[in-house]
Structure 1
Amino acid sequence: MRTINFTEFRNKASTILSAVEKGEIMIVMRHGKPIAKITPAENPIEENNLWKKPALRHVVKRISLSSTILEERSSS
Structure 2
Amino acid sequence: MHTVPLSEFRANASAMLDLVEQGETVRILRHGKPVAELVPLKAEEAAAKVPSWKRPFEPVVLPPGVSLSQAVLDERNESPW
Give the alignment's TM-score, normalised by structure 2.
Answer: 0.55
Match of 1:44 in 2: 47
> What do you get for the CA RMSD once the two structures are aligned?
2.8
How many residue pairs match? The answer is 64
The CA distance in 2 between the partners of 1:70 and 1:14, in whole Å, is 52
Match of 1:6 in 2: 6
Match of 1:35 in 2: 35
Match of 2:63 in 1: 61
Give the alignment's TM-score, normalised by structure 1.
Answer: 0.57
C-alpha displacement of 1:2: 2.0
C-alpha displacement of 1:68: 4.8
What fraction of aligned residue pairs are identical, expressed as a percent? 39
* Unaligned stretches of 5+ residues in structure 2: 49-55, 77-81
Cα distance, 1:20–1:68 mapped onto 2, change above 3 Å: closer
* Unaligned stretches of 5+ residues in structure 1: 46-53
